Every structure is written in C-alpha cells, then in structure tokens.
Structure 1
Amino acid sequence: MKTQLEENGIVTLTQEGVNQIKDSPLYNEGLRPTTKEEHNWTGYNFASLWIGMAICLPTYSLAAGLISLGMNWWQAIGTIVLGNLIVLIPILLNAHAGTKYGIPYPVYARLWFGSKGAHIPSMARAIVAAGWFGINCWFGGAAVDTLLVAMTGWENVPGHLAIAFIGFWALNVWISYRGPEAIKKMEFWAAPTLLVMALALLAWALSSAGGWGPMLSAPSKFTSAGDFLKVFFPALTGAIAFWSTLALNIPDFCRYAKSQRAQIIGQTTSLPTTMGFFSFIGVAVASATVVLYGEAIWDPAAILAKFSPFVIFLGTLGIILATVTTNVAANVVAPARAIENLWPRKLTFGMGAIITGLAALLMQPWYLLENFGNYIFLWLGSYGALLGPIDGIAIADYWMVRKQRIDLVELYRPNGRYSYSGGINKAAVWALLIGIAIPIGCKAAGLTFVWDNAWTIGLLISLFAYTWLMRSDASLIDASHYNRITSTEAQASMAS
C-alpha cells in the first residue's frame, strides 16, 4: 500500500497516507507533513530569511564583544566566519530531511527520540529559543528607552528601562501570537531594508573615525599564542552555538523548500556572508568607538544614545525591525511548535508563543547581558554543550543509521515503528547523556580544552555513540520496505 509519493526528491503523503493519520493524537495542521503545493520557498526566500535573522543585535554584540575581550578586527571576524562555516554543515544536513519529507522539527525528533521522547530535544531547543527571545527583547527595549530619554523627560520615570523592556516584550509576543505564516513575506522586504541600514552604520563609523586606518588599527591585546587560544576556543564555540539552535529546527523552514537546490544555495550564500558582513560592521563600529570615545562600546543602545534625537529615532526603528524579524523567525517557531507538540489536539501555535514569552522573562536576559563574559562563556558556551550532542544524534539518525529512508505515516502513530519502548528511544537518551557528560566531566577535571569545544566534541561523541547503539534497531526500514510504501513520479503517472 502506497502511503507516500516521491517526486523530484520531495516526499509527500498520498491520500491513503493522510487518511491513516488524520485522526491520530500526534497529528494536527501545524505538525503534519507539507503538501506538494506548500513546497514553494525559493533560494531567495531562504537567503532573505537568513539576512533578516543574522542582521540582529546579538550578532553585532558577539562581534564587537570579541574586540572588548582583546582580539583585533581580523581575529574577531575570522573566528565568527569560521564558526558559521562549521555550523553550516549540520544546518544543511538537517535541512535535507526537512526538505525531503516536509516535517517540522518536533516530528523530526520523533524519529530519533520516539513519540514521547521527542519532547526532550524539542523542549531543549525551546528553552534556548526562549532565552534568545528575551535577549532580543532586552536589546530592543533598551533602544526604545534610549529614544524616549533622548526625546522626552523619560529618564525621570521610575523604572523607565524596565517599562520600555516590558512594552517591547509585549509587542513581540503580540506579533508572534499572530502566527508564522507571514514570515516569508516579512523577511522578503525586511532583508534589503536591514542591509541598507547596516551600510549606513558602517559609513558613519568610517567617516567619524577618519577612515579605515584609525578604525581598524587597534592591535590585539594578546602577547602570545597561548593567551589568544584561551579566548579563541570558547569564542569559536560561542560563534558555532550562536546558530546551533537553527541547525536543529531548520526543518521548520526547509519543509517549505521548493527543492534541495533552493535551500542549499539560499542558505550557503547567505548565512556565512551575512554573519561575516554584519560582524565586520560590529567590529568596525566598536573599533571606531575606541578612537572616538576611548573604549570599545559593544552595546548598540549605548552608542545610539550619543546621536541626535532624529538619528536615534531612525536607529530605533532599525533595531525594532531587526529584533522582530529575528525573534519571530528564529526564537518563536521552534518553542511554539515544541509546546504545540506536547498536546497536538489541544495546544495551538499562539498558545506556544505566549508561553515562550513568559519563559523568556524567567530566564532574566538582563543578567545574561550584564557583561560579555556571561554572554559568551555562560550563555553561548553552556547551551552549545547541550545542543551539540542533539545535533550529532539527528545527523547520525538520518544519514548514517536510516540512510534517508523514513516512513512518514509511522511518525504519527502513538504505538508505531518510531515509538520504540514506551515512546522513548533509549539509545538516543544514552547517546545524549554521554555527549553531555564527557565535556562536563572534562571541565571538572581541569581539561578545559574539551569544555571550550563542547559543541563540536559533544556532537561527534553522540554521533558515533548513537550510530553504534542503533546499528540493528527494529525501527530501521530497508530499501525494499521503502519502495513498498513509496510511489514514484513515474508510478503515479502510470496509475493516472
């Protein structure tokens, strides 16, 4: 019985397949596989998605913060570009599954963790996204506060920064509640707008600092290779961890890709280039502040406060646009889908968006951004150690264990092939624990190099552990089984 159809490398459900799962408690409109008509995102859509997400205040702060830690401009940019080239690999590997089978991240996670166990990686991703949601809202709220202080007597209002933050947070929650369907259109026009504003910021830094020479002449503060490497490796892990979140839930977007070629070209040409470009702007502006003000200022709102009210107004609009495009795309879709997956028949995407916003407050973004050490070492480094092993399990399952063969219908059956024992795949749980425990143990033992590279090392450990543990699992399907349930384009034409 043919329950799925493969055309041009894209697998969709046949009507028979839909009929078999439409009443399942694991099925709803947000979690179902996409249809052939819904595979309509082009390379430009993916490029604009990444431009809209990468041009954001955390990107600026990551780059500028490396200057404050002692790097010169090319060391900072090189670290960030290298990190993004590394994380692009798992992004593309996991994007392939989302594109081919049209499934969102929580459903993809059922494949490796089980119908119930999928809540472990999906909620882990959701918690990190909630943290980022709060960080972006804090940046945006600070910019709004700066605008109001510059143009009114706002500074005399008790708790004015907190009020601006809560107001901006509420705006983001409201926009997110309206749903993800407008992301493609929003990113389409936001991407070029943000690029123009970024170039304007670079032009200001260039003219104010007196040219490239004074702006980029600040030397590295490291006197030896050893001193540099002590900062380089945790900074590299931070640069990788920055988008390791999307490396997991990229299927949430690539499930709409027109083809594998569209998502590969769109993402490859936009992620490392945009991150490198905007990071350079962050580094250049921070270097310019050293020339102008005697210190590297990595907080955009603090720089904004030094301009005229009109420029602050324009800059604040840019910050709001950058924050909203990043928050809606990168920090709401994943947790909202994860929460929706907890109870597909009762919970909606909108409810998930509200819960995400509340969780963001509990994670205290003001503390994470209190100093750059918290941002790079505590926040990015810690969640990198968590998400790296999950990335390793996802890649191993699809590419090394299953050889890209999935039975879509079984992903929506509570007691199906991918439910394992009691809904949890113990092999995935063990692989995750091993991948997390080894870097933590090494850190406790003083082997800081392992912890400083926790994302990469954890990914590799879990990848090999999961592959070995799953080598003869009953959930695997061979080529003959796949052919029995999958109709090809030629077979469909003959039948019609």
Structure 2
Amino acid sequence: MTGTAEGAPAEVRNGWPLPRSERPWGPPAVFCASAATAVATWCFAIGGQVAAYLNAAEGTLTALCGSLLGMLPVVLACLPPCGKYGVDSVVVSRAQLGTRGSVFATALVCVSTVGWNIVVMISLARAGAEVLIAAADLPPPARAPLEAGLALAGAAVVWYGLRRGPDSLRDMTTYIAAGVIVLGAVVLVLLIRHVGWDAITAARPSSARPDHAFNYATGVELLVASNLSWWAYTGAIIRLAPSTRATLWPAVVGLGLSVGLVSLIGLYTGLAVPGSGGDPSRHLLELGGVGVGMTALAFIVLANIGTAIVGVYVATLALRQIPRVARIPWNVSTLAPILPVAVVSAFLAAPFSARFGTFLTLCGVLFGPIAGIQIVDYHLLRRARLDVAAAFDPSRRSAYHFWGGVNPVGFAALAAGVAVYVYLLNPLTYVSHPPYEHITAGIPSAVAAGAVYALGTRLVLRPLGKGGYGP
C-alpha cells in the first residue's frame, strides 16, 4: 500500500473486513498509533479538571487508576471482534443495533472524533499564538487572527498528512509517538523545575466539595469517561494488526495509560496555577522565557497534529462504509470530518471551550453503554462469533436486519445505560445521586446496558428468531 490512498485495496479504504495476510501493522505500529492518538493537550484539560477536586497525591493515583479502568470496557468490547475479523467498531455494532441502526454508531464516532479534534486544534492555536506574540513582541490585538490562522493551518496539515490513508497513519505516528513521549517528559520536568514540587504538593484543589468521596469519584470518572471514548478509535487501529493478543498491551498502554501519565502535567499545572485549565504553555513561557515556551509549543504541535490525523482517519473510515461516501475519492471524503474542526476551532473556540467538561462526561454517557452491550453480546450471547456477511448485507435476509434494519432491544439497552449514568451523575450540572460517590457512573452504566440487552435478547429476540440468536 504505497502512493495515494486511492491505490490501496478497497477493503482498507472503506472499512471492509481485512484478511490477516493483508494487515500491515505489528505491535510497535499499534503502540505508536495509540500513543500518538492519546497524547495530546486534551490530557492537560483532563488533568486540569481533576485538579479542581483533588490535590497532587490524590490526583496522581486517581488519574492513573481511572485511565486504566476506563480502558477495560473498550478492550473487552473492541479488541476481540475487531482483531479477529479485521473490522472496526461500527461494523461490530451492527450485530447489536442493526444494519441501519448502526448509523447511530457512525454518528457517534464522527461527533466524538470531531469534538476531540476541535479541542486539540484550539489548544494548538492558542499556544502557538502565545509564543509568537512573545517572540515577536506583537500587540494583543494580534492574538485573535493568529489563533484563527494557526487553527486553519493545522487543519490543512492534517488533511495533507492523510493523503495516503493508513500508510500516512503508520509512517507519521511512528515519529510522532517518539517525539511526544520525549517532549512530554521534558515539559513535565520543566514544569516541576520552574514551579517547584513543594508548591505543587502544597496547592489545594479549587472546587473541592466537603464530601471527599465525591471528589475522588469525580476524579476517577473524568479519566474513565475520557478513555471510554477510545471505543471510537480502537477498532480502526486494531483491524490493521494480524494478532489481537500481541497488540493488547500496546493498545492498553498507548491509549489508556498514556492519558493518565500526560494528564499529570495538567493536574500539576491546574493546582499550581489556578485558572490555567491545566495548560502549562503560558505559565512556562512567563517563567522560562521564549526558549522554554518553544519546547512546550513543540510538544503541543506534534502531539495535537498526530491526534488529529488519527481522529480524522477514524471518522473517514466510519463514513466511507456508507455506499455513497465510499464512491467519493479518499482525499475528498477526509474533508467531511476536517471542515467542522477548522471552522469551530478558528471562529467558535470560546463557546466550545466553555463546555469542555460537559463534552468530556457526555463521552462516558454514550460510550460506556455501547461498550457494555457489545461485551455481553459478543462474549456471552454469541460465543465470540460475528456474522461478517450479515454485517455487510443491507437486505432483509441479513441476520442483523431485525425490524427494518433496527434492533429496538439494542437502543432500549443503550437508553437504560444512559439513564443510569445521568441518574448517578448529571453531565450538565455535575449533580450526583448515591451511590455515585462509591461506584462512579461510567462503568455502572455499561453494566446496566449490558444487563438490559441480555434480558431483552432472552425475552424478545431469541423467541422471535431475530438477530441470528436462534429460536
């Protein structure tokens, strides 16, 4: 697979099943793509959110534990079927939502990846403008046009970088992953050196509540909800690797643990510099000058471009499973997930940033339940089997046709999981109800959705012979 993406096989470009002999990625490529995806300035924002509730010691343990806990449902839901059959998460969802109902999963993938890409482009534009203003001694009114221009330039770089499809993904993320790991460690050392470890450990969280159990639960939930959104990314990465077992730990460490580790930069910055939102770039620029600020900027540019490239690839792959989109040239179809990112990050950055916390928890609201449904369906109800032919058959003959291509049991289970999450933690107001402070919300919502789906399959789908479960 060389040259442009149009020269790649159709199954690679359009999300069709990949035979193991045609999957080009080994464990190193999976780790690099995963790390390049996970390590971005959204980690600063996540850590900054945790800093509102927990101090340095509590937040460090919470970030690491929550990041791995959030990866558990994703790994169980995506790795076995996507690795076994060479398909992405959207294709697997057809067994639970129906051949037409899986459009919901496609929309979920596109909205989440576009949302995350907006986050990283806004951060890239703001950090770049900050450094350029300081280096060139530009007047404050130059900030707004600089941010808009940098956001548009970043989107253009991402579009150009994806011109060769999966080849671009593999080649670019290999170097990006190495760079962001090194630069991330440098930024953390610079932060501790310039701020002081004593100042970080002595800092108190800005919005901690009297109920310490709530603070801990919310710190965990922020990381769980963030990593549940990897459901949208994991299948598209794992389908390119021939061995699921060999790619388990590269995916867990690259996608899961990396978020927790880099979030520590945002945690410590958020504690030491209230009002920073966890972003260390401006503070390091003020304390260490342009040289130190440029180091932080290099990390932000490299990490955010890598993350955006993977996000756009994942969204494009999901969209190209729609027949009309599949007929469009690859480089045209990649514009669909890039254009909203460019417009919002360049011209609507402030209103979007003000709602970041809500966006973060909304990821847990939706991705937890869909992961729970897939875990129960694939591992317990279907005995680790997916009818690939049925997943790509839009006719009434498909085992996944259900009723008009939609499985109402799947959507009822999804609604039940969302209801459990919202009851435990309202993502708009952060009002919680017991026992949220002891069990959080993301994992219980996944369990509830899976339980409702299992019950609905036993009472409705199996007796009626729907869904390929047998009478």
TM bucket (normalised to shorter chain) is 0.7 to 0.9
Residue 194 of structure 2, aligned match among 208, 221, 224: 208
Contact 2:67/2:257, CA 8 A, preserved across alignment: no
Q: CA deviation at 1:459?
A: 1.2
Matched residue, 2:454: 467
Deviation at residue 36 of structure 1 after TM alignment: 2.3
Amino acid at match of 2:401: S
- Quote the Cα distance in structure 2 between the aligned partners of 1:366 and 1:392: 34
2:248 matched to 1:282? no
Letter aligned with residue 17 of structure 2: P
Alignment partner of 1:37: what SS?
A: helix
Structure 1: distance between partners of 2:319 and 2:55: 42
Contact (CA 8 Å) 2:83, 2:243: kept in 1 or not? Answer: yes
TM superposition score normalised by structure 2: 0.84
Match of 1:476 in 2: 468
Q: Which amino acid aligns with 1:175?
A: G
How many angstroms apart in 1 are the aligned matches of 2:445 and 2:371?
9
- Rate the CA distance shift 1:451–1:390 in 2: closer, same or farther, 3 A: farther
Q: CA deviation at 1:461?
A: 1.4
77-86 or 174-183, which deviates more: 174-183
Cα offset, 1:231, TM superposition: 3.1
Report the counterpart of residue 20 of structure 2 in structure 1.
36
Matched with 1:411 is 391
The one-letter code sitting in structure 2 at the alignment partner of 1:325 is: G
Cα 1:362–1:144 change in 2 (3 A) is closer
User: Quick check: 1:424 aligned with 2:411?
Assistant: no
1:383–1:51 CA distance, 2 compared to 1 (3 A): closer
| SS of residue in 2 equivalent to 1:159 | helix
1:392 is the counterpart of 2:378: no
Tell me, yes or no, if the aligned pair for 1:439 and 1:450 is still in contact at 8 Å: no
Q: 1:85 to 1:315 in 2, by over 3 A?
A: closer
Distance 1:308 1:250, change over 3 A: same
Provide the C-alpha distance between the structure 1 equivalents of 2:350 and 2:276, rounded to a whole number of angstroms.
20
CA distance in 2, matches of 1:456, 1:425: 23
Q: Which residue of 1 is the match for residue 174 of structure 2? A: 188
> Match of 1:5?
none
- Report which stretch shifted further, 77-86 or 112-121: 77-86
**Corresponding residue number in structure 1 for 2:293:** 312
Counterparts in 2 of 1:260 and 1:443: CA distance versus 1, 3 Å: closer
Change (3 A) 1:220 1:447: closer
**Whole-Å Cα distance in 2 between the matches of residues 242 and 99 of structure 1?**
23
Q: Deviation of residue 286 (structure 1)?
A: 4.5
Q: Which residue pairs with 2:4 in the alignment? A: none
- Decide whether the 8 Å contact of 2:54 with 2:219 is kept in 1: no
Structure 2 partner of 1:327? 308
**Where do 1:205-284 residues align within 5 Å?**
205-210=191-196, 212-219=197-204, 226-284=210-268
Distance 1:335 1:80 in 2: 27
Structure 1: gaps of 5 or more residues: 1-21, 479-496
SS at match of 2:101: coil
Aligned to 2:75: 92
Match of 1:83 among 58, 66, 76: 66
Q: Which residue of structure 2 lines up, in the alignment, with residue 157 of structure 1? A: 142
SS in 1 for 2:18: coil
Structure 2 match to 1:339: 319
Using the alignment, how far apart are the partners of 1:449 and 1:208 within structure 2? 41
Deviations 1:20-63 (A, max 9, x none): xx99xxx8842211122233422222222232223211112211
Mapped contact 1:137–1:172 kept (Cα < 8 A) = no
Task: Structure 2: state its 5+ residue gaps.
Answer: 1-8
Q: Which moved more, 1:407-416 or 1:355-364?
A: 355-364
Q: Does the 8 Å CA contact 1:50/1:270 hold for their aligned counterparts?
A: yes
Compute the displacement of 1:268 (Å): 3.3
Indicate the SS of the match to 2:383. coil
- Count of aligned pairs between the two proteins: 442
- Quote the Cα distance in structure 1 between the aligned partners of 2:388 and 2:87: 9
Aligned runs of 1:17-36 on 2, under 5 Å?
29-36=13-20
The residue type equivalent to 1:411 in the other structure is A
Stretch deviating more after TM superposition (126-135 or 174-183): 174-183
Deviations 1:281-334 (A, max 9, x none): 3334445x45xxx876622342254243344334322211100111112x2233
Given the alignment of the two structures, is residue 105 of structure 1 paired with residue 89 of structure 2, yes or no?
A: yes
Is 1:72 paired with 2:73? Answer: no
* Greater Cα offset, 341-350 or 75-84: 341-350
Give, in angstroms, the shift of residue 138 of structure 1: 0.2
Q: How far 1:277 sits from its partner (Å)?
A: 2.7
TM-score (norm 1): 0.80
Classify the secondary structure of the residue corresponding to 1:341. coil
Note closer, same or farther for the CA distance 1:52–1:107 as it changes in structure 2 (3 Å cut): same
Q: Is the 8 A contact 2:35 2:177 kept in 1?
A: yes
For 1:145, which of 129, 150, 171 is the aligned residue? 129
- Measured after TM superposition, the shift of residue 338 of structure 1 is 2.5
Is the aligned partner of 1:198 residue 2:180? no
1:65-89 Cα shifts (integer Å, max 9, x gaps)? 322x142112112222222121221
The question of whether the paired residues in 1 share the 8 Å contact of 2:50 and 2:222 is answered with no
CA distance in 2, matches of 1:333, 1:448: 38
Q: SS at the partner of 2:74?
A: helix
Larger Rg: 1
Question: Once the two structures are aligned, what percentage of the paired residues are identical?
Answer: 19
- State the alpha-carbon separation in 2 of the partners of residues 155 and 296 from structure 1: 18
Q: Is the 8 A contact 1:427 1:466 kept in 2?
A: yes
